[in-house]
Amino acid sequence: MPSQNTPVKHDGGRAPFGARLAAAMLARGPLCVGIDPHPQLLAAWGLDDSIEGLRSFSLTVLEAVEPLAAAIKPQVALYERHGSAGLAVLEELLAAAAQTEVLTIADAKRGDIGSTMAGYADAWLRDGSSLAADSVTLSPYLGFESLRPALDLAASNGRGVFVLALTSNPEGASVQHVGGAESVAKRIVQAAAAENQRYSAQALGSVGLVVGATVGSALTDLGIDLATVHGPLLAPGLGAQGATGADMRASFGAAYPAVLATSSRGILAAGPSVAALRAATVETLQGL
């Protein structure tokens, strides 16, 4: 697990995101629960695919997992599909989570250039924004430096980012593996490591990476050393997608202490009972 370094307060009174996440992982375990209100899951819970169903689902998951998980990760697209009312539910969820100890990762996968990227950063990372989360996922495929507005805003106010690096979807390799020994993925990893030099005194830096829990031998094949990143590694794919704690220990090797394993359907399928969701969360934690 990350070291027990005391988080240093940031200029705005908030400790850097990486330090807060390291403390949460140490206290509660390295688990992030995805909040993915798919229509099929809503139906399985006996809820309508409506704003009321979306709100009930979201707040029930938060109630169940916030004492146990280090972070929650609402999938922004599944709120956007309900329009402005869906985004209002997401705002309500983020505000409710902010009153607890659980950290939030807005899974928005934003990426653009110039003033547009600055706008995305303002929405998800600015203090006072109704959509502000503790961190947000970003896509670097217009160039890592295109993310600069989000990187700098997050650093200035103690929030964090998770940059897509090596995903486990079949199509990902057609972009991320290009370049062989100097692959796109490897260069993203190196860029994140460079950003985290500003957090060298912290247990973890605040620039994290998204690395699929089911990437298998890709890290070795591409010569990527995640242990050099000094940032959290968000690893979706635990549970329903087939990855186990043992799989991740083997794949991530020396970087495993920085892994924040993510489970969505594997836990959410236990709902709508809060007690059943908590039991599924505890069982998942025990496997890490």
DSSP structure class, residue 238: B
DSSP structure class, residue 162: E
Per the CB < 8 A criterion, the answer to whether 270 and 239 are in contact is no
Residue 152 burial class via C-beta count within 10 angstroms: exposed 0-12, middle 13-18, buried 19 and up: middle
Q: 3-class DSSP state for residue 67?
A: coil
User: How crowded is residue 227: how many other Cβ atoms within 10 Å of its Cβ?
Assistant: 15
Our separate counts of H helices and E strands in the chain read 13, 8
d(CA 93, CA 79) in angstroms, rounded, equals 11
Q: 3-class DSSP state for residue 264?
A: coil
Q: Closest Cα partner for 118 from 147, 157, 89?
A: 147
What is the phi/psi pair of residue 285, to 5°?
-60, -40
Per the CB < 8 A criterion, the answer to whether 207 and 234 are in contact is no
Is 73 labeled as catalytic in the residue annotation? no
d(CA 42, CA 21) in angstroms, rounded, equals 29
From the list 9, 73, 109, 186, the catalytic residue is 109
Task: Give the catalytic positions in this structure.
Answer: 109
